[in-house]
Structure 1
C-alpha cells in the first residue's frame, strides 16, 4: 500500500490491520455497473452484532445529499428500528474496513468516541471515507478487477432510555375531501348499523356509520350518524388523527340541509365521532320534507385531516 493523502477529519483513527473484520464482509464485483445503472448507493444485507441488526451503506461516488464530491462514502446503519423506538438509544463503537487486495491488509476507519444510534439517527459513518483518486489507484489495491471488499465490526457498549415523547405533524395546506353516499330502499334497511363504502382522506381509511333507528339516547326517536375510521386496529396504539368534518343529509326538494360539524382526535381507542340525535325520524320521514324521495336519501361528509400525533 502506497502512502495515502488522507483528508483531515477530526476524531477519526486510521490504521492498517491484517485481521479481517469480525462481524461482516461486503464484496462488490463489477462495481462500475452501479454507476452505469444510476445506482447512487448500495445497501448490504443485514447482519447481527451486539444483539442488534445492522447493515452497510456504500456510495461509490459520494453521498450527494451531503454534497460529497470526489470521495466514496461509507456508513453503518441500524436496521429494523422505527420511530416508535426513538426514546431509547444504542451506544456502539464501530470500525469500517476496506481491503488492500495487493497485500491482504485492511485499511480501517474508526471514530474515537462511541456513537448513539436511535430512530432519528440510524446511521453513522464517513461522508469522505476515501478519495476517489486513492480508491481507484491500482497500486493501493482497493479496487482490483472492478472488485472491492468492505467490512464492519460493531461493539455495543450500552443502552439508554431517554423517556417518553411525542411528535405532532400538522398538515400544511390540508385538503378537504367530500364523499357522497346514496342509500336506496331506506325504509327496508333492517340493520342496526349501516356502513358506507370505505373512502380515503388524509392517508387514512374512513366510513360513515348510519343507525336508521337510532343509537343510545336517540334510539327509537332519531337517526344517528357518525364518521368512523374504517380500520382502527391498524393504527399504532398512541396515534391520534386530528380531523375536522361535517356530516350532512341534503333535503332534495328545497335544497336545504340537516348537518352537524365537529373537530375530533380519532384513534384506535376512539375510532368514531358523531351524533346520537342527528335528526328526528319524524322529520326525516315527513312527506312534506325532501330528505326521503322515492325511499332514497343521501348522506354527505366533508372531511379535512389537519394533523397526526404519534408517541415517541
Structure 2
C-alpha cells in the first residue's frame, strides 16, 4: 500500500511515482502512480495506477507470470476501499519480459478524486493499494527459427551390394543444426513407384520421439559415377510424427538405374546424397 501525505505537492513535482518494492507470490512488485494521469496513454484528467513486476533478471528465459490483481483507493470517510478491476472479475493477466506492467490508465477521474465528499483525498492525504494473487503456471515457450545454408549439411551414403538391399533401408543418422536425419530408400520402389522406380526420401529422426514439427528444404541426389550427370530433386516439408519422411516415390526409373551406361549403379554400388539447404531450430523453455 502507498500512503501519500502532502499529495498536492507530490502531484506538482513528479509525473510518475513508484512505490517501494514488495513481495507477493514469490515475486517482486511495485505500484506506479501518475497523479495527473499517464498522458502518453491518453490518461489526462484521471489518476493512472499500474502494477509492475520488477527484479526479473534471475527469472528463466521465456518466463511468464499469471496474476489476478485488484487496485484500490481508500475512502477515509466511509472506511472502505474502492476496488478497480476488469469487468471480468476472474481476468488473469500475463506478465512477461515484453509486458511487465498492467493496470488502469483511467483509474479514477481527478474531479472525483479531488472531491472531498468522496473521501479519497482528505487533508491532502490518500491511500492506494493492490491485492495480488499469483497463479501457478506450467506452460512452455517454444522458439522456432530457420537456419539457411547450415554447416555440415550433406550426407553421402555409399551403398555397396545394392542388389542385396531389403525392401526398405535407412542410412546412418546425421545431424544438421541440432536436428537428426536419415535417408530412406526403397530399391524397387514403393507407393506409385513400386516396381517402376527407385524411391528416395528424407526422414526426420526427431519426429519419432516428439510431437513437434521440423522444417527442412532439401535435395536428394543419386550420383552418376561415370558421366557426372547426377539426378536430383528438391523439396520443402514440415516433418511430423504422422509424416516423418518426405521425398519422391518415382525418383529414378529402374530401367535407367540399371542401365550401366548411365553410371548410377557401378559394381553394384549406388551413391545417394541428402543436402539440407534450410532447417528449423526449435528450443523449448519452461
Bin for the TM-score computed over the shorter chain: 0.5 to 0.7
Structure 1 unaligned blocks of 5 or more: 1-7, 15-20, 22-48, 57-72, 94-114, 125-154
User: Paired residue for 2:20?
Assistant: 12
Q: Classify the secondary structure of the residue corresponding to 1:283.
A: helix
Offset of residue 173 of structure 1: 6.3
Alpha-carbon contact 2:217-2:276 (below 8 Å) kept: yes
Deviation at 1:213, TM superposition (A): 1.2
Distance 1:170 1:292, change over 3 A: closer
1:197 corresponding residue in structure 2 = 172
Q: Does 1:222 align with 2:230?
A: no
The aligned residue for residue 246 of structure 2 is 273
How far apart, CA to CA, are the structure 1 residues paired with 2:155 and 2:277? 12
Contact 1:90 1:116 in 2 (8 A): yes
- Picking from 155, 176, 181, the partner of 2:157 is 181
- Aligned to 1:288, the other structure's residue is in SS state helix
Q: Is the radius of gyration larger for structure 1 or structure 2?
A: 2
State how far apart, in whole Å, the 2-side matches of 1:265 and 1:183 are.
27
CA distance 1:255–1:171, shift in 2 (3 Å): closer
Q: What are the superposed Cα offsets for residues 212-271 of structure 1, whole Å, 9 maximum, x if unpaired?
A: 111101111111000010231333x3x333321110001111111111111222223321
* 1:208 pairs with 2:147: no
Please give the residue correspondences for 1:33-44 in structure 2 after superposition, counting only pairs within 5 Å: none
The TM-score, its normalising length taken from structure 2, stands at 0.54
1:272/1:55 CA distance change after superposition, 3 Å: farther
Instruction: Please give the per-residue CA displacement for 1:180-211, whole angstroms capped at 9, x wherever unaligned.
Output: 0010100111x221000000012100000000
| Equivalent residue, structure 2, for 1:251 | 224
Q: Residue 292 of structure 1: CA displacement?
A: 0.9
Where has structure 1 moved over 6 Å in runs of 4 or more? Answer: 76-79, 121-124, 309-312
Check 1:225–1:176 CA distance in 2 against 1; reply closer, same or farther (3 A cut): same
Q: Over aligned residues, Cα RMSD in angstroms?
A: 4.3
Q: 1:259 aligns to what SS in structure 2?
A: strand
What corresponds to 1:263 in structure 2? 236
Which of 154, 169, 175 aligns to 2:145? It is: 169
Distance 1:299 1:55, change over 3 A: farther
Q: 2: distance between equivalents of 1:123 and 1:76? A: 12
Alignment match, 1:285: 258
Counterpart-to-counterpart distance in 2, 1:241 and 1:76:
31
User: How far apart, in 1, do the equivalents of 2:174 and 2:191 lie?
Assistant: 26
Taking the aligned partners of 1:119 and 1:269, their CA distance within structure 2 comes to 34
How has the CA–CA distance of structure 1 residues 75 and 288 changed in structure 2, closer, same or farther, with 3 Å as cutoff? closer
1:299 aligned onto 2:275: no
Aligned to 2:107: none
**Is the 2:207–2:214 Cα contact (8 Å) retained in structure 1?**
no
Q: Cα distance 1:75–1:252, how it changes in 2: closer, same or farther (>3 A)?
A: closer
TM-score, length basis structure 1: 0.50
Q: Answer yes or no: is the 8 Å Cα contact 1:176–1:302 preserved in 2.
A: no
In structure 2, distance between residues paired with 1:210 and 1:116 = 51
Structure 1 residues 310, 217: CA separation in 2 closer, same or farther (over 3 Å shift)?
farther
What is the aligned residue count?
A: 192
The alpha-carbon distance between structure 1 residues 166 and 203, as it changes in their structure 2 partners (threshold 3 A), is closer
Gaps of 5+ in 2: 1-15, 29-53, 70-91, 102-130
